[in-house]
Amino acid sequence: MSAVMEPVFLTVEEAAGALRISRTRVFDLIRTNRLPSRKLGRLRRIPVSAVREFAKAGDHGEGRR
């Protein structure tokens, strides 16, 4: 029996989908240090735990009005 491992990191696209925001918004959140991320070589990855905490806080910033 093999255990299913949960991913530790998400791509920018996966994080955007999980948070239901655009890729551009994810990059804005990373740039303003509101969403932690890591560079793995040339790739930008967001820890799953950071996405969960961000979603739990409900701090999605200013949207359309």
Domain membership of residue 38 (yes or no) is: yes
What range does the domain containing 25 cover?
A: 9-57
Q: Quote the pLDDT of residue 3.
A: 79
What is the full per-residue pLDDT of the chain (65 aa) written as tens digits?
A: 677 888 899 999 999 999 999 999 999 999 999 999 999 999 999 999 999 999 999 866 655 54
Q: Which residues of 33-60 are buried (b: 16+ CB within 10 A; e: fewer)?
A: eebebeeeeeebbbbbebbeebeeeeee
Domain membership of residue 64 (yes or no) is: no
Q: For residue 45, what are the β-bridge partners? A: 11, 38
| CA angle, residues 12, 30, 43, in degrees to nearest 5 | 45
Closest C-alpha to 29, from 8, 7, 60? 60
Q: With 0.75 as the threshold, say if the pTM is over it.
A: yes
Give the number of domains in the chain. 1
Domain membership of residue 13 (yes or no) is: yes
